Amino acid sequence: MIQAIGLTSISRKEQPPAVDNVSFEAHAGRVTALLGAPGAGKTTALRLMLELQRGRGITYFRGRPLHRIPHPAHEVGVVLGDVPGHPARSVRGHLRMLCAASGVPARRADEVLEAVGLVSLRDERLGTLSRGMDRRLGLACALLPDPHTLVLDDPAGGLAVGERRWLYDMLREHAAQGGTVLCSTADPKEAARFADHVVTLDGGRVVADQRAADFARTRLRPRVVVRSPHAARLSVLLARRARSTQRSVEVVREGGNRLCVYGSTCAEVGETAFRNGIVVHQLADETGDMGPGAGTDTKASPAPESQPSAATDARSGPDPEPGAAAVPNPSPTPDPNPEPETGTPAPEPVPAVSPQPEPPREAPGDGTPRPTPPRQPAPPRPTTVTLPPPVLVRPAPTPLRPVRYEIRRATGVPTGYVVGACVLAVSALTAVLLARIGHTPQPRLLAAWPVEAPLPPAALGAGLLGALAFGDEFRHPALAVDRGTVPRRLGLLTAKLFVASLSALALAVLTVGCTAELLYLVYGSELVALPADWPALTAGWLALVTGCAWAGVLAAGVFRSTTAGLAAVVAVPLLVVPAVHKITEGPSTRGPAPFAGRLRDGLPLRWPFGGEQHLEALLRLLAQPVGGAMALSVSVLLCAYAFTGLRGRVR
């Protein structure tokens, strides 16, 4: 169950808080609706419960706050708006990536796709999904780790009637299997239809906490809606009959040919119209909203104003089929439309006043009706709603879990492949031009690194790939649903550095190979001869590209932006290298070679198998201005990343 205690948001500029001392409970096996008009504080309350927003109060999920749960996604499934995924990623690829992050088998993605009816759209991109399919995918992401609790913020907003019915059936099925469901909505009739318990918010405070049956009885008022070209005459006849029978019947004309009759039934209104020869175009039962402060006595409640209102035109069920009678929508929840307090059951509707289909809308510019084509064909709605099978065995956390996630994140979108192809093409063209111009050393020629450029294309590409590792996380936060920010765990950082290093090394090797092959084909073998000091040059080249990738990863994680990560990579040769070069060439310094020699001679022990030679090569590499600047930049960024992670935990 969910226990929310004293949730209070932090107000700004002496304004009242959006949520003020909100406390309620959502029990297991039930669907709880958090009801409120727009601006009542529903979303703020949910964000406070999920610790996505700073404030006071605490929320317990089966006795534990969210920050005390080791894996929050295994306990709470969250749907807050649209799916926060990369628009170029496929539906199945997105779910498989989340499977790797949650530690569940990859086949779980196919199971939830079948449960939500998205098997036929598994290869579609996230950016091409319609709103209904996006909400289905959001529910699939929430159900992926098999959580006990579902928290959804207005999941049916903007959906068609069939999609809403399917969604609510899924939520009720989850509750029927012992789970807890908390769902916010702004429609009181929907809350009475699908929920077992309704918590009403108004002005950031709880004004009602009651069962759905009590909510329907106290908050919703039954009425009969009539459409007739003779609405004024029918209104007079209904009022006259009410006075003759001494019954409390109220007739409200809501503009045009629409009447709302309170205190009567469809049969009585239909008989009155039939006896007086009045044509009726619509006759249906509805429920009217009496507001969050409505009392428990229907007779003593104030009547709605006689003004046209868009809210009073919403039916308690789906629109009737053409030529069919208007009947209430069957639902396992208590009926929000109780019988009138006359004590007599409502008779059958009169056939002469059966509702007629409304005319189709006309397209602007011509007189022919044109139905609006759907954005995307929806899959057929299943006859029975079934949840995915439970996860019986959860594998223990392993170091490969974040690595699998990072590999699927990097390879699931074409961005990395495009960056690599562009780097190889630019490097090959640059090497050919440099060879034609001449006066370029062979190592720089193979790396396609002009003397005037701060970094070669391969280093810039590696830095961009590293910056995308965290930049995409903040732009499309697939991991931010449960805690609101990209988790700063050591395992995730290690996985990103490892995958970025592999990408950088592959890019560096492919760049040298492509440029050498192209130079051999164009100019012959004299430009691609193997230099004598190729081990040191290779080590320096790989270290440079890997350092750029690490700098991009750490800078994007600290500044939460891909642009900032790439800017930190470019700042190393433009800002840090001149500073390090100035320090090393000062009057009190002897240069890099004597420094490396002094450090080697100062070692008390000699390494076996010539290990001091490798150490000397490493020291020479670090003593260079570029190597020292890169090492200094990576160290500073790593400390900044650790500091921001600790500061986030303290909060």
Question: What confidence tens digit (pLDDT) does each residue in 225-279 have?
Answer: 899 999 989 989 998 888 888 888 888 887 778 888 888 889 999 999 999 999 9
Dihedral sign from CA coordinates of 256, 258, 262, 267: positive
**To the nearest whole number, what is the mean pLDDT of the chain?**
79
- Topology (CATH) of 2-203: Rossmann fold (3.40.50)
69 burial type by CB count under 10 A (0-12 exposed, 13-18 middle, 19+ buried): middle
Structure confidence at residue 440 (pLDDT):
84
Write the pLDDT tens digit of every residue in 386-427.
888 888 766 656 666 889 999 999 999 999 999 999 999 999
Structure confidence at residue 293 (pLDDT):
57
433 confidence band (pLDDT: 50, 70, 90): very high
User: What pTM was estimated for this model as a whole?
Assistant: 0.73
Amino acid present at 553: V
**Greater confidence, 304 or 439?**
439
Helix (H, G, I), strand (E, B) or coil at 34: strand
CATH class of 218-292+349-355: alpha beta
Q: Whole-angstrom Cα distance, residue 523 to residue 525?
A: 7
The answer to whether 220 touches 289, Cβ cutoff 8 Å, is yes
Q: Is the pLDDT of residue 605 over 60?
A: no
Do 2-203 and 218-292+349-355 fold alike per CATH? no
The runs of H, that is alpha helices, within 144-262 are 161-176, 188-194, 212-219, 231-245
Q: Is the pLDDT of residue 221 over 60?
A: yes
Q: Hey, where are the domains in the chain?
A: 2-203, 218-292+349-355, 400-650
Find, among 464, 486, 466, the residue nearest to 84 by Cα: 486
For a pLDDT cut of 90, what percent of the chain falls above it?
42
Structure confidence at residue 487 (pLDDT):
66
Q: Is the pLDDT of residue 351 over 90?
A: no
Structure confidence at residue 416 (pLDDT):
94
Least confident of 175-189, 437-451, 574-588: 574-588
Structure confidence at residue 367 (pLDDT):
41
Q: Is the pLDDT of residue 642 over 80?
A: yes
Structure confidence at residue 469 (pLDDT):
92
